[in-house]
Structure 1
């Protein structure tokens, strides 16, 4: 599971900082999460192939999370994209994008599909045989969702030594991967535990930005491997965080502790602060495993 931070600062882009966008690579999927200004430039800098992005998840319609989307959609067209593109986001996102495409007479040459969200409850928005994606209802100034990405349990792995020792025919391989015992031609029954290793434990990633401190999200993110939680402010501006419906670094860490997550990644920093290390220092008072997102940084989990 690989996370690339394209942008992780609040409000407006600056010379060296970019608004929210990130790429999650999980089970051969390349998911784009939020799409602030300059997302496509950051994608190029990170050497992420545009053609691999087939699903984009937008948390809410504030500009620092969505203003880069029309540019990316248009660039896909200029690059002669043919693969379908699916966009998941709050109701209204289709109108925002298609209005600009219509007025500029720039309709896409590829299939553009919108999956508009308006439920206040968690819902499954994407699922295939490898990954499940659910919304996480967040509390912000406008309708907002986080997203929970969960790997499904994979197949077992063949034990190559056992395959050779017992001279297992190839036609048995898939049944072994599926967890079945097999019977050889001479009637010998071989237990699956002799022939295969258990699959890697499935991993999970929760993206929570933007939101006021809200313990009601804890059940949705219980025990996840990695939690990205916004930390717009430090505790010295807790009152401002509440007023603007954002969180402090310490509040983000408290949520991580209550949910029993394995790793916390902080982001969505206000640019009023001189050093982002201050966010980690504050969070460590509540939770021991804290990483700081920064533009262009990559994490492998």
Structure 2
């Protein structure tokens, strides 16, 4: 099953000629999860041939414009192109009011249902679950209510070794074996050990999105050993005081957090437009955490099982 992240935008505050506002698409299986939706997101979706009608959920980290100004336009296009499937929106208080007013005064009556999920940005909390994944909020520290998101695959079933399976097993017993149970008789005695007829399950994968925030070491318990971590890196470390004052982080701070959390792969983004050349940010982060990449528009990052 696919588990990959496509970067649509990575610029902070204002866009530049070759960098767009924050937006990402996380593909898990046949579902698209859109994370933030800065201005121009629908143009980026078209550029990279991502079918927006397949987006099931949209997650908005906070209500600074560079993270959600593209949302009304994207939803309007979905409407004009005949979407019927409900769209789930997860965001901080105020998002539903903003969109409702925009559609009210433009006379837009959507063909599909918008399902709003108002988030408590101050805590770690499960906000979505289906048969394959869970999504939790991660509390950020920014100038307005803001949260990140942690996507985790659920435990996967154990593959059965067919040639070792006895003939007497019934379908419910096979299901129990897949989920790690031994098979017992009516008296409770083990008649077939799970470890004898199954293999280890494939590894469950994870992605953590840390939106705009000051350096926040108390995120470590939520981020420990995630496969892929995106963390904002608005400035280089010589501007650490400015980063703290504006509730942002530096590339070095993002790398320090990734190293402490023992993540597998770090992406840095949300770059200030002052940096025409992003190599100083990458170099700074890699000095602390080697497995770091820039979240550049169009880049795809796959997480393997």
| TM over 0.5, shorter chain | yes
- Return the offset for 1:28: 4.0
Match of 2:69 in 1: 67
Specify the SS of the correspondent of 1:200: coil
- Return the offset for 1:274: 2.5
Matched-pair contact (CA < 8 Å) for 1:27–1:151: no
Residues 64-101 of structure 1: CA distance to partner in whole angstroms, max 9, x if unpaired? 10000001111111111111101001100001111011
- Return the offset for 1:143: 0.8
Is 2:296 aligned against 1:294?
yes
Match of 1:104 in 2: 106
- Return the offset for 1:123: 1.4
Q: TM-score, normalised on structure 2?
A: 0.90
Matched-pair contact (CA < 8 Å) for 1:221–1:261: yes
Q: TM-score, normalised on structure 1?
A: 0.91
Query: Which runs of structure 2 are paired with 1:1-301 in the superposition (5 Å)?
Result: 1-162=3-164, 171=171, 173-181=174-182, 189-301=191-303
Q: Distance in 1 between matches of 2:120 and 2:177?
A: 43
- Return the offset for 1:193: 2.6
Q: Distance in 2 between matches of 1:168 and 1:78?
A: 56
Q: Distance in 1 between matches of 2:231 and 2:211?
A: 6
Specify the SS of the correspondent of 1:197: coil
Q: Distance in 2 between matches of 1:71 and 1:109?
A: 15
Specify the SS of the correspondent of 1:270: coil
Unaligned runs of 5+ in 2: 185-189
| Compared CA separation, residues 193 and 71, structure 1 to 2 (3 A) | same
Specify the SS of the correspondent of 2:221: helix
| Compared CA separation, residues 43 and 168, structure 1 to 2 (3 A) | farther
Q: Distance in 1 between matches of 2:69 and 2:168?
A: 56
Q: Distance in 2 between matches of 1:237 and 1:5?
A: 25
Matched-pair contact (CA < 8 Å) for 2:34–2:58: yes
Q: Distance in 2 between matches of 1:136 and 1:73?
A: 26
Matched-pair contact (CA < 8 Å) for 2:225–2:263: yes
Specify the SS of the correspondent of 2:123: coil
Aligned residues: CA RMSD: 2.1
